[in-house]
Chain A
Amino acid sequence: MKTVKHSDHSDLRLPELQTLFWQAILQPVMHSDSVDQTNLKGLVDSDAMAIYQDTVQTAHVEALKTSYPKIYALLGEQVFKGLARGYFINYPPTEPNLIAYGGRFPEWLKQAKNDVLPITQLFQKIDLSLLAQFEWAFEQGYYSEDKQFSEKDLQVLSNTEPQNIRFKIHPAIKLFYFNSNLVSVIEAELVNVVTTLKKQNPIKVSPPYLKPVVVFRDGWKMEWLKLSREEAAILQGVQNGSRWNTLSQLDGYEERVLEEWLKLGWIVQIEQIL
C-alpha cells in the first residue's frame, strides 16, 4: 500500500481525534485560538474546521426554525439564531434522527427569559415557553403512530360496567391552557400579532381567563381546537386514565362529547379494566 506522507501526529488515535474534533464543533465561535485550545493545532486547517462547525450548527438552527416557526417569527432571525446556537452547544443532539431534535428548546427559552432583552420583553406579554411547547406538540404529532379506532372495541361497551371501562386517546393529542394573547398568536396572521404584541402592555392573567386548547392529528395534518373548560376537564380525565363512570360525573359530560371525539379520531381504544 502506497503511503502519502508521514506525520508528527501519528500517535493520535481515532477516539481522541473524534473527541477533539467534536469539542471544536461545539465551540461558540471558531477562532484559530480555539483550535489551539482543543489541541487540534497543526492537525487540521482551522478555516476548514470552521466550515464543519458552521454546517453542523447551521443545520441545527434550521431544524429548530422548522419546529418552532412562530417562535422564529416572533424573535426574528438574529435573536433566534443566537438562541438556537446556544441551545445546540448546551443540549447537543442525542438522537440519530434529526426529527427528534429540539424537545428541550422550550426549557431553553425559559432560561433565556432574563438574559436577552427582546425575549424578556416578549415574555412579559406571552409565555414563549408555553407557545414553544405547543409548536413542539404540533411538530411531533405529524410523526406519531397511526392509531385508529377499531369497531370491535364497541363490543366492550355492551357487556362491561362503566366503572370497568376507560378510553385511550391518540398519542398526538396534547392539551394546553393559553391566555388570550397566546391564542391570538396561534390563531392570527403572525406579522400583525408581532406588531400588536409590541404595542400592548404586559397583561396579568390568572384563571379563569386561561383557555383550553387541544392539539390533535386529523389524517396527515395537525390541527388545534379551542375547548370549553368542561370538555378540557373530561379530556384531562381521559388522559389521566379515569374510568368511564368517573368521567360521567364531571360537569359538562355528555355522551355526544365522546361520540364526537370518536369521529375526530381522538379516542382510539376502549379498554376493559378487570
Chain B
Amino acid sequence: MTKSEAHLSDIATPQLSAGLGLRSAHVGEIMQTLPKVGWFELLTDNHLVKGGRAKAEAYAIREHYPVSLHCVNMSIGSTDPINWDYLSGIKTLSNDLQPWVISDHLCWTSIHGQYSHELLPMPYTEESVMHIAERIRSIQDFLGRRIAIENVSTYLNFNHATLTEAEFVSSVVTEADCDFLFDVNNLYVSHKNTGEDIANYLKEVPWNRVVEMHLAGFDVRQKGNNEYLLDTHSCPVSDDVWTLYKQVLKHSGNVPTLIEWDNSIPEWSTLYQEMQKIIRIQSNEDS
C-alpha cells in the first residue's frame, strides 16, 4: 500500500456526524482553513469530467476529508437499459476517491436515450418495486458495493398506484438489499404536495438501512389557485423541516446528516452555521 493509499483509507468514514455538499466557490476557503466537517458530498456529474478544476477539486478535498458520491443520472427507475458507460465512470471515480457512500435516487431521469436531468416520479406499484430492485442489484454487483437510494420530492400521485410512498421505499430497500438515504426535506415536500402521511411513513422506514440523511430548503410556489412546495435547495432549511428532523432522530438515533444547498449558494460561513445546527440537535443542545 502506498503512503497516499494508507492516508485515504484512514479517513474513509466521517468522524463527525454532519456534512456539507461541496461547492466550487468554497473550495479555496476550505483548503486554507480545513474546517471541522464530517465529510463533503460530491455531486458526481460535476467531477465526471476529463480534467480541469472540477476534477482537481474532488481529489484535493479527498486528501483531507471523507467524501460521498451523490449521483443523479443512474436513472435507476428507467425502463431503458442501464448506462454502463456512465456507471464505469462512476466506478473509476469511486475507486480513486473511496467514498464512504455512493447514492442516487428512487426515480427515473431518462427514457429512449434522452435525459431529463430531473428526478421524475415512479408510480408506487409492485411492478416498480421489482423493476427498480433488480436494477439496483445489478448496479451494486457492478460497483462491488451497496448503494444508498434516496426518496425524492414528489408533485403528483399516480392514480393507479397501489402502495404508499413509504411502503414503496421499504419494499425496494428490502428487495434490493441496498441502503437508504433519507431526505427529510423531501418527505416534508411530498407530504405537503401529495398528502403523504408522515406518521405512517416513519413507521415504515427501514431504519437499520438508513446510512445518511439529507436536509435542504424549498421554495413556496403558486400554480393556479394552488400552492405547492418546490425542492430547490436554494435557501436555509425551514423550521418545519428542522422540527421533523428532530422527530425523525427519535426513530433513527443519530445518523450522518448533510446540508444540501445547490442554488443561490451562500457564503461559506452561512453554510457552515447551517451544518452546526445538525451537531447541536444531535447532541441535544437544541431541543
A44 touches B158 (CB 8 A): yes
Shortest distance in angstroms between B27's beta carbon and chain A's nearest beta carbon? 11
A143 touches B51 (CB 8 A): yes
A42 contacts the other chain (CB 8 A): yes
CA distance A49 to B158 in the complex (A): 11
| Chain B interface residue bracket vs A | 35 or more
B117 touches A142 (CB 8 A): no
CA distance A10 to B86 in the complex (A): 33
What residue in chain B is nearest A97 (Cβ atoms)? B45
Residues of B contacting A21 with CB < 8 Å? 111, 120
Stretch at the interface among B3-11, B93-101, B160-168, B245-253: B160-168
Shortest distance in angstroms between A8's beta carbon and chain B's nearest beta carbon? 7
Residues of B contacting A96 with CB < 8 Å? 45, 73, 75, 83, 86, 109-110, 115
Shortest distance in angstroms between B139's beta carbon and chain A's nearest beta carbon? 14
Shortest distance in angstroms between B122's beta carbon and chain A's nearest beta carbon? 8
B162 touches A4 (CB 8 A): yes
CA distance A52 to B228 in the complex (A): 12
B50 touches A144 (CB 8 A): yes
A95 contacts the other chain (CB 8 A): yes
Q: A98-B45, A142-B52 are in contact. Are A22 and B114 (CB under 8 A)?
A: yes
What residue in chain B is nearest A95 (Cβ atoms)? B115
The winner among A9, A45, A59, A145 for most chain B CB atoms within 10 A is A45
Residues of B contacting A63 with CB < 8 Å? 117
CA distance A95 to B115 in the complex (A): 6
What residue in chain B is nearest A91 (Cβ atoms)? B114
B117 touches A59 (CB 8 A): yes
Residues of B contacting A171 with CB < 8 Å? 50
B118 touches A56 (CB 8 A): yes
Residues of A contacting B114 with CB < 8 Å? 22, 92-94
Shortest distance in angstroms between A143's beta carbon and chain B's nearest beta carbon? 4
A9 touches B160 (CB 8 A): yes
A18 touches B79 (CB 8 A): yes
Q: A1-B167, A25-B116, A47-B223 are in contact. Are A143 and B160 (CB under 8 A)?
A: no
Residues of B contacting A47 with CB < 8 Å? 223-224, 226
Residues of chain A having any CB pair with chain B under 8 Å: 1-10, 12-15, 17-19, 21-22, 25, 42-45, 47-52, 55-56, 59-60, 63, 92-99, 101, 142-147, 171, 217, 220
For the complex with contacts A1-B171, A96-B75, 10 further pairs of A-B residues with Cβ separation under 8 Å are: A3-B162, A4-B124, A10-B162, A45-B156, A51-B228, A96-B45, A99-B45, A146-B56, A220-B52, A220-B56
Q: Could you jot down 15 A-B contacts, CB within 8 Å? A: A1-B126, A3-B162, A7-B160, A14-B123, A14-B128, A44-B159, A51-B223, A56-B118, A95-B115, A97-B73, A99-B49, A145-B50, A146-B50, A146-B51, A146-B52
